[in-house]
Structure 1
Amino acid sequence: MSTPALSISHLQKTYHRAGTRIPVLSDVSLTLDFGQSLALTGESGSGKSTLLHLIAGLDRPDGGKIVLSGQDICDLPDRALARLRRQKVALIFQQFNLIPSLNVSDNLAMHARLASRYDADWTRALADRLGLAGLAERMPDQISGGQRQRVAIGRAMALRPDLLLADEPTGNLDEETADQVMAELLGLVEDIGCALLMVTHSTRLANRLEARLHLSHGQVALP
């Protein structure tokens, strides 16, 4: 049996605020294979963003295991965790999170350069595929929201990650543009063979992915 891109077992996370214990995740488990896409749904406050932060190594769980490409990340020291995250995991956000002082071309290349995995031919191919080739010298504030999200997708995919984490990646787009961007995203996921875990409130978009996991009050539940 091949190693999955992501395996989570009995994950738990609790926050403490003003002396109050606030459980956020309780006994969450999932497996995501390379090439598989999974929609993560749930009401606000159900633990979706916390789960993404834990998987990305931006926070640490209180219990359970997170195994990324065969490596348990929970006990890694901070520097090793940052290196693994930089080289194996890419993130796409609702707010695009482009660097405003960099043009489209440099934004596309940024993550791959940081990971020492920059491939100029692949990055150019991504720009062509995403309709960005003619925008290389433009700054983020000179392009549309749909174009900015395509830059964010290209930046993530330039890395050729093992795991792509997307947090409401079309939340700021109109329905038609969202459908176009999702089609481009899913096509790249299929071509690269990475795993995709996408947080979404949209049942319509969730149904386009291969599988669905619903969180309710920090636990896996029926949608």
Structure 2
Amino acid sequence: MSILPILLIGLKVTVQATFFGFLLALVMGLVLAILRSVRFKIVSWPAWFVIEFLRDTPLLVQLFFLFYVLPLYGFSLPALAIGIIGLGAQYSAYCAEVYRGGIEAIGRGQWEAARALDLDRLTIYRDIVLPQAIPRIIPSLGTYLVSMIKDAPLLSAISVLDMVAASNIIGDQTFNYLIPLSMVGAIFLLTTVIVSYLVHRLDSALPKTGIPMK
């Protein structure tokens, strides 16, 4: 039996789950961060609760809830879609805090100057805040991307056929778990090293004074 092609199929699933899950985390995290920074408590407190709930409950429990409980109420999705949503939701809480740190690092004088020019909140975030905040938070976001890659094997618990699930199937058929699991570990190591290098290159390339958003 040729092991590598089977594991590479599992790697494709892992990459899909991580890529789309991280995109969801970036978008959802930004929304939560902005809502968290609103001065009205009726808006900021629910956002704070969602962030704390997602961050302080285990990812595996969230995946089980989405996969086993929601179908009882008519919300049924494919296992991979559930995994993407679970990964994205969990890491959106961490990304929200990273965004919030970057946003709060913007000098108060810039906020006051923008308001003095009668700029709306969307324009302030789009043209002033985010172009300066994003370059500062790239390393932290990259760290969470690597963590998400390493958490992706948890999706095998809800029947997603990723690399870990594929290696277990190979082990069951060959009665030899050492080789497939060792190969999975090596692939994960290589993948995270490549991603870390790309994040470092991106961080080095972005101007620290801000990036144009138009």
Short-chain TM bin: under 0.3
TM-score, reference length from structure 2: 0.24
TM-score, reference length from structure 1: 0.23
As a proportion of its length, which structure holds more strand? 1
Structure with the greater alpha carbon radius of gyration: 2
